[in-house]
Structure 1
Amino acid sequence: MKKVLLLLLLCGVVLAAKAQNINSSYNKALADSLGADEYGMKPYIFVILKTGPTKIEDKAKLDSIFRGHLNNINRLANNGQLVVAGPMKKNDKTYRGIFIFNVKTPEEAKPLLSSDPAVASGVLDYEIFQWYGSAALPMYLKYSDKIEKTKH
Protein backbone atom coordinates (compact mmCIF):
# COMPACT_ATOMS: atom_id res chain seq x y z
CA MET A 1 0.00 0.00 0.00
CA LYS A 2 2.88 2.37 0.81
CA LYS A 3 4.39 1.71 -2.61
CA VAL A 4 1.11 2.53 -4.36
CA LEU A 5 0.75 5.79 -2.40
CA LEU A 6 4.36 6.68 -3.09
CA LEU A 7 3.87 5.97 -6.79
CA LEU A 8 0.70 8.11 -6.89
CA LEU A 9 2.49 10.92 -5.06
CA LEU A 10 5.41 10.73 -7.48
CA CYS A 11 3.05 10.79 -10.49
CA GLY A 12 1.28 13.80 -9.02
CA VAL A 13 4.56 15.67 -8.55
CA VAL A 14 5.67 14.87 -12.11
CA LEU A 15 2.32 16.00 -13.57
CA ALA A 16 2.35 19.19 -11.49
CA ALA A 17 5.88 19.99 -12.63
CA LYS A 18 4.94 19.34 -16.25
CA ALA A 19 1.84 21.54 -15.94
CA GLN A 20 3.99 24.41 -14.67
CA ASN A 21 5.85 24.45 -17.99
CA ILE A 22 2.69 25.18 -19.97
CA ASN A 23 2.44 28.86 -20.97
CA SER A 24 -1.03 30.17 -20.15
CA SER A 25 -0.53 33.01 -22.67
CA TYR A 26 0.17 30.61 -25.56
CA ASN A 27 -1.66 31.58 -28.76
CA LYS A 28 -1.58 28.63 -31.17
CA ALA A 29 -2.96 30.60 -34.12
CA LEU A 30 -0.30 33.29 -33.70
CA ALA A 31 2.47 30.72 -33.19
CA ASP A 32 1.38 28.84 -36.32
CA SER A 33 1.17 32.06 -38.37
CA LEU A 34 4.75 32.91 -37.39
CA GLY A 35 6.10 29.40 -38.02
CA ALA A 36 7.02 28.90 -34.36
CA ASP A 37 8.06 25.55 -32.94
CA GLU A 38 6.98 24.46 -29.45
CA TYR A 39 9.54 26.82 -27.90
CA GLY A 40 8.33 29.83 -29.91
CA MET A 41 11.49 29.72 -32.02
CA LYS A 42 12.36 29.21 -35.68
CA PRO A 43 15.38 29.23 -38.00
CA TYR A 44 16.63 32.41 -39.66
CA ILE A 45 19.68 33.40 -41.66
CA PHE A 46 21.99 35.85 -39.89
CA VAL A 47 24.29 37.86 -42.17
CA ILE A 48 27.23 40.02 -41.24
CA LEU A 49 27.89 42.66 -43.89
CA LYS A 50 31.51 43.67 -44.19
CA THR A 51 33.62 45.93 -46.34
CA GLY A 52 33.86 44.46 -49.82
CA PRO A 53 36.76 44.38 -52.27
CA THR A 54 35.44 47.21 -54.49
CA LYS A 55 36.49 50.78 -53.71
CA ILE A 56 34.43 53.50 -55.43
CA GLU A 57 35.85 57.02 -55.31
CA ASP A 58 32.99 58.70 -57.19
CA LYS A 59 30.83 60.07 -54.36
CA ALA A 60 27.69 60.40 -56.50
CA LYS A 61 27.98 56.77 -57.63
CA LEU A 62 28.62 55.57 -54.07
CA ASP A 63 25.64 57.60 -52.80
CA SER A 64 23.47 56.02 -55.51
CA ILE A 65 24.62 52.52 -54.53
CA PHE A 66 23.81 53.12 -50.86
CA ARG A 67 20.44 54.73 -51.72
CA GLY A 68 19.72 51.50 -53.63
CA HIS A 69 20.95 49.52 -50.62
CA LEU A 70 18.45 51.29 -48.32
CA ASN A 71 15.63 50.94 -50.88
CA ASN A 72 16.38 47.22 -51.15
CA ILE A 73 16.31 46.86 -47.35
CA ASN A 74 12.86 48.49 -47.29
CA ARG A 75 11.62 46.30 -50.15
CA LEU A 76 12.81 43.09 -48.48
CA ALA A 77 11.34 44.17 -45.12
CA ASN A 78 8.00 45.01 -46.74
CA ASN A 79 8.01 41.56 -48.38
CA GLY A 80 8.63 39.90 -44.99
CA GLN A 81 11.97 38.48 -46.14
CA LEU A 82 14.15 40.72 -43.97
CA VAL A 83 13.33 41.14 -40.28
CA VAL A 84 16.38 43.00 -38.99
CA ALA A 85 18.88 45.30 -40.67
CA GLY A 86 21.24 47.84 -39.25
CA PRO A 87 24.73 49.29 -39.33
CA MET A 88 27.54 48.55 -36.93
CA LYS A 89 29.81 51.10 -35.34
CA LYS A 90 33.34 51.30 -36.70
CA ASN A 91 35.34 48.22 -35.69
CA ASP A 92 38.62 46.47 -36.47
CA LYS A 93 36.95 43.56 -38.29
CA THR A 94 35.54 45.74 -41.12
CA TYR A 95 32.03 44.62 -40.17
CA ARG A 96 29.55 47.15 -41.52
CA GLY A 97 26.10 45.85 -40.59
CA ILE A 98 23.77 42.92 -40.12
CA PHE A 99 20.76 41.38 -41.79
CA ILE A 100 18.48 38.74 -40.35
CA PHE A 101 16.53 37.09 -43.14
CA ASN A 102 13.23 35.33 -42.58
CA VAL A 103 14.40 32.31 -44.59
CA LYS A 104 15.73 28.94 -43.47
CA THR A 105 18.77 28.28 -45.64
CA PRO A 106 21.79 30.15 -46.98
CA GLU A 107 20.67 29.16 -50.48
CA GLU A 108 17.43 31.11 -49.97
CA ALA A 109 19.36 34.13 -48.64
CA LYS A 110 21.92 34.43 -51.45
CA PRO A 111 19.50 35.80 -54.10
CA LEU A 112 18.22 38.30 -51.53
CA LEU A 113 21.80 39.43 -50.90
CA SER A 114 22.63 39.66 -54.59
CA SER A 115 19.58 41.93 -55.06
CA ASP A 116 21.35 44.53 -52.90
CA PRO A 117 23.26 47.08 -55.03
CA ALA A 118 26.01 47.45 -52.41
CA VAL A 119 26.61 43.69 -52.41
CA ALA A 120 26.22 43.34 -56.19
CA SER A 121 28.78 46.12 -56.75
CA GLY A 122 31.27 44.55 -54.33
CA VAL A 123 31.23 47.57 -51.99
CA LEU A 124 29.86 45.21 -49.35
CA ASP A 125 30.64 41.55 -48.85
CA TYR A 126 29.03 39.17 -46.37
CA GLU A 127 29.28 36.14 -44.11
CA ILE A 128 26.19 33.91 -43.69
CA PHE A 129 25.19 31.96 -40.57
CA GLN A 130 22.19 29.84 -39.68
CA TRP A 131 20.53 31.22 -36.55
CA TYR A 132 17.72 30.05 -34.26
CA GLY A 133 15.69 32.84 -32.69
CA SER A 134 12.27 33.94 -31.54
CA ALA A 135 9.56 33.42 -34.14
CA ALA A 136 8.07 36.72 -32.91
CA LEU A 137 11.03 38.68 -34.27
CA PRO A 138 9.16 39.83 -37.42
CA MET A 139 6.41 41.33 -35.25
CA TYR A 140 8.59 44.27 -34.25
CA LEU A 141 8.51 45.59 -37.84
CA LYS A 142 4.88 46.68 -37.53
CA TYR A 143 5.93 49.03 -34.71
CA SER A 144 9.07 50.29 -36.38
CA ASP A 145 7.20 52.73 -38.63
CA LYS A 146 5.39 54.18 -35.61
CA ILE A 147 8.64 55.22 -33.89
CA GLU A 148 10.67 56.31 -36.93
CA LYS A 149 10.47 60.12 -36.94
CA THR A 150 12.74 60.59 -39.97
CA LYS A 151 12.58 58.24 -42.96
CA HIS A 152 15.87 57.16 -44.50
Structure 2
Amino acid sequence: MKNLLLLSVISLYLFSCAVKPKEKEAKPILNEMSSNFDQKLGDSLGADERGMKNYMLVILKTGPNDAKITDKTERAELFKGHFSNMTAMEKAGKLKMAGPFATKNSLGYRGIFLLDVKTEDEANKLLQNDPTIKSGVFDVEILPWYGSAAIPMHLKYHQKISKETP
Protein backbone atom coordinates (compact mmCIF):
# COMPACT_ATOMS: atom_id res chain seq x y z
CA MET A 1 0.00 0.00 0.00
CA LYS A 2 2.86 2.37 0.84
CA ASN A 3 4.42 1.62 -2.55
CA LEU A 4 1.15 2.36 -4.31
CA LEU A 5 0.77 5.65 -2.44
CA LEU A 6 4.38 6.62 -3.17
CA LEU A 7 3.96 5.68 -6.84
CA SER A 8 0.76 7.77 -7.00
CA VAL A 9 2.43 10.83 -5.44
CA ILE A 10 5.45 10.58 -7.77
CA SER A 11 3.17 10.09 -10.80
CA LEU A 12 1.06 13.09 -9.80
CA TYR A 13 4.17 15.22 -9.30
CA LEU A 14 5.65 14.24 -12.67
CA PHE A 15 2.32 14.80 -14.39
CA SER A 16 1.96 18.27 -12.85
CA CYS A 17 5.50 19.20 -13.98
CA ALA A 18 4.86 18.00 -17.50
CA VAL A 19 1.53 19.79 -17.86
CA LYS A 20 2.41 23.38 -16.94
CA PRO A 21 -0.08 26.02 -17.83
CA LYS A 22 0.95 27.45 -21.18
CA GLU A 23 2.64 30.79 -20.66
CA LYS A 24 1.83 33.54 -23.08
CA GLU A 25 4.57 33.55 -25.66
CA ALA A 26 6.44 36.81 -25.98
CA LYS A 27 6.18 38.15 -29.50
CA PRO A 28 8.73 40.49 -30.92
CA ILE A 29 7.41 44.05 -31.01
CA LEU A 30 8.12 44.30 -34.73
CA ASN A 31 5.68 41.49 -35.49
CA GLU A 32 2.76 43.17 -33.77
CA MET A 33 0.77 45.65 -35.79
CA SER A 34 -0.36 48.76 -33.98
CA SER A 35 -4.11 48.98 -33.59
CA ASN A 36 -3.78 52.59 -34.79
CA PHE A 37 -1.89 51.64 -37.96
CA ASP A 38 -2.93 53.70 -40.99
CA GLN A 39 -1.46 52.28 -44.23
CA LYS A 40 -2.63 55.21 -46.35
CA LEU A 41 -1.00 57.75 -44.03
CA GLY A 42 2.20 55.71 -43.80
CA ASP A 43 2.42 55.48 -47.57
CA SER A 44 1.77 59.21 -47.99
CA LEU A 45 4.64 59.99 -45.61
CA GLY A 46 7.05 57.49 -47.16
CA ALA A 47 7.16 55.39 -43.98
CA ASP A 48 8.75 51.97 -43.79
CA GLU A 49 7.31 49.11 -41.68
CA ARG A 50 8.52 50.85 -38.50
CA GLY A 51 6.96 54.18 -39.43
CA MET A 52 10.43 55.60 -40.13
CA LYS A 53 12.32 57.02 -43.10
CA ASN A 54 15.72 58.44 -44.04
CA TYR A 55 16.53 62.14 -43.94
CA MET A 56 19.69 64.24 -44.17
CA LEU A 57 20.63 66.00 -40.94
CA VAL A 58 22.51 69.24 -41.52
CA ILE A 59 24.49 70.61 -38.60
CA LEU A 60 25.28 74.31 -38.96
CA LYS A 61 28.60 75.15 -37.31
CA THR A 62 30.40 78.41 -36.75
CA GLY A 63 32.25 79.08 -40.00
CA PRO A 64 35.69 80.56 -40.64
CA ASN A 65 34.33 84.03 -41.48
CA ASP A 66 31.79 84.39 -38.68
CA ALA A 67 34.03 86.57 -36.51
CA LYS A 68 35.34 88.49 -39.55
CA ILE A 69 31.93 89.70 -40.72
CA THR A 70 31.19 92.30 -38.06
CA ASP A 71 29.16 94.89 -39.98
CA LYS A 72 25.63 94.72 -38.53
CA THR A 73 23.93 95.63 -41.80
CA GLU A 74 25.87 92.98 -43.72
CA ARG A 75 25.09 90.33 -41.09
CA ALA A 76 21.41 91.31 -41.09
CA GLU A 77 21.29 90.86 -44.89
CA LEU A 78 23.07 87.50 -44.69
CA PHE A 79 20.62 86.21 -42.08
CA LYS A 80 17.65 87.63 -43.99
CA GLY A 81 18.81 85.49 -46.92
CA HIS A 82 19.37 82.54 -44.57
CA PHE A 83 15.75 82.66 -43.38
CA SER A 84 14.51 83.26 -46.93
CA ASN A 85 16.33 80.10 -48.08
CA MET A 86 14.80 78.18 -45.19
CA THR A 87 11.34 79.34 -46.25
CA ALA A 88 12.03 78.31 -49.86
CA MET A 89 13.21 74.85 -48.75
CA GLU A 90 10.10 74.45 -46.58
CA LYS A 91 7.76 75.50 -49.40
CA ALA A 92 9.51 73.01 -51.70
CA GLY A 93 8.74 70.29 -49.15
CA LYS A 94 12.41 69.67 -48.34
CA LEU A 95 12.95 71.35 -44.95
CA LYS A 96 11.12 69.36 -42.28
CA MET A 97 12.64 70.77 -39.12
CA ALA A 98 15.08 73.53 -38.22
CA GLY A 99 16.27 75.44 -35.25
CA PRO A 100 19.23 76.84 -33.37
CA PHE A 101 20.90 75.20 -30.41
CA ALA A 102 19.65 76.76 -27.18
CA THR A 103 23.12 77.52 -25.81
CA LYS A 104 26.66 77.95 -27.04
CA ASN A 105 28.66 74.75 -27.05
CA SER A 106 32.29 73.72 -27.32
CA LEU A 107 31.67 72.11 -30.72
CA GLY A 108 30.68 75.37 -32.40
CA TYR A 109 27.31 73.88 -33.37
CA ARG A 110 24.80 76.64 -34.06
CA GLY A 111 21.72 74.93 -35.49
CA ILE A 112 20.22 72.08 -37.49
CA PHE A 113 18.17 71.44 -40.59
CA LEU A 114 16.37 68.18 -41.20
CA LEU A 115 16.04 67.75 -44.97
CA ASP A 116 13.78 65.30 -46.75
CA VAL A 117 16.27 64.37 -49.46
CA LYS A 118 17.97 61.10 -50.29
CA THR A 119 21.59 62.15 -50.81
CA GLU A 120 24.23 64.49 -49.46
CA ASP A 121 24.52 66.01 -52.95
CA GLU A 122 20.82 66.93 -52.92
CA ALA A 123 21.28 68.53 -49.50
CA ASN A 124 24.31 70.51 -50.72
CA LYS A 125 22.34 71.82 -53.71
CA LEU A 126 19.66 73.19 -51.38
CA LEU A 127 22.28 74.80 -49.15
CA GLN A 128 24.07 76.55 -52.05
CA ASN A 129 21.50 79.34 -51.91
CA ASP A 130 22.09 80.15 -48.24
CA PRO A 131 24.20 83.33 -47.99
CA THR A 132 25.36 82.54 -44.44
CA ILE A 133 26.89 79.31 -45.72
CA LYS A 134 28.30 80.85 -48.92
CA SER A 135 29.91 83.68 -46.93
CA GLY A 136 31.46 81.37 -44.33
CA VAL A 137 29.37 82.51 -41.37
CA PHE A 138 28.35 78.86 -41.16
CA ASP A 139 30.02 75.62 -42.16
CA VAL A 140 27.92 72.47 -42.46
CA GLU A 141 28.16 68.80 -41.64
CA ILE A 142 25.66 66.56 -43.42
CA LEU A 143 24.77 63.16 -42.01
CA PRO A 144 22.18 60.53 -42.99
CA TRP A 145 19.55 60.27 -40.24
CA TYR A 146 16.77 57.73 -39.70
CA GLY A 147 13.70 59.04 -37.89
CA SER A 148 9.94 59.10 -37.72
CA ALA A 149 8.22 59.59 -41.06
CA ALA A 150 5.60 61.63 -39.16
CA ILE A 151 8.03 64.48 -38.42
CA PRO A 152 6.67 66.64 -41.28
CA MET A 153 3.24 66.62 -39.66
CA HIS A 154 4.45 68.97 -36.92
CA LEU A 155 4.76 71.85 -39.41
CA LYS A 156 1.03 72.53 -39.72
CA TYR A 157 0.74 72.70 -35.93
CA HIS A 158 3.86 74.81 -35.53
CA GLN A 159 2.42 77.42 -37.90
CA LYS A 160 -0.72 77.58 -35.74
CA ILE A 161 1.21 78.25 -32.53
CA SER A 162 3.84 80.69 -33.90
CA LYS A 163 3.02 84.37 -33.44
CA GLU A 164 6.15 85.44 -35.34
CA THR A 165 8.26 84.08 -38.15
CA PRO A 166 12.04 84.53 -38.25
Q: Shorter-chain TM-score category?
A: 0.7 to 0.9
Tell me the residue number matched to 2:151: 137
1:151 counterpart = 2:165: yes
Of 90, 94, 97 in structure 2, the residue corresponding to residue 81 of structure 1 is 94
Runs of 4+ aligned residues of structure 1 deviating over 2 Å after TM superposition are: 16-20
Q: Percent identity, aligned pairs only?
A: 50
1:80 and 1:96 map into 2 onto residues whose CA distance is 23
1:21 and 1:109 map into 2 onto residues whose CA distance is 35
Length-normalised TM-score, structure 2: 0.78
Equivalent residue pairs, number:
142
1:75 and 1:107 map into 2 onto residues whose CA distance is 18
2:133 and 2:98 map into 1 onto residues whose CA distance is 14
Higher mean alpha-carbon deviation, 35-44 vs 71-80, is at: 71-80
Tell me the residue number matched to 2:111: 97
What is the CA-CA distance between 1:18 and the residue it aligns to? Answer: 7.0
Cα displacement string for residues 49-89 of structure 1 (whole angstroms, at most 9, x for unaligned residues): 00111121211011100011011111211221011110112
Q: How does 1:109-128 map to 2 (within 5 A)?
A: 109-128=123-142
Of 25, 46, 51 in structure 2, the residue corresponding to residue 35 of structure 1 is 46
What is the CA-CA distance between 1:23 and the residue it aligns to? Answer: 1.1
1:23 counterpart = 2:34: yes
Tell me the residue number matched to 1:5: none
Tell me the residue number matched to 2:55: 44
2:33 and 2:61 map into 1 onto residues whose CA distance is 42
CA RMSD, 1 decimal:
2.1
Unaligned runs of 5+ in 1: 1-8
Length-normalised TM-score, structure 1: 0.85
2:121 and 2:63 map into 1 onto residues whose CA distance is 20
2:123 and 2:164 map into 1 onto residues whose CA distance is 29
Q: What SS is found at the alignment partner of 1:91? A: coil
Amino acid at match of 1:92: S
Of 57, 60, 83 in structure 2, the residue corresponding to residue 70 of structure 1 is 83
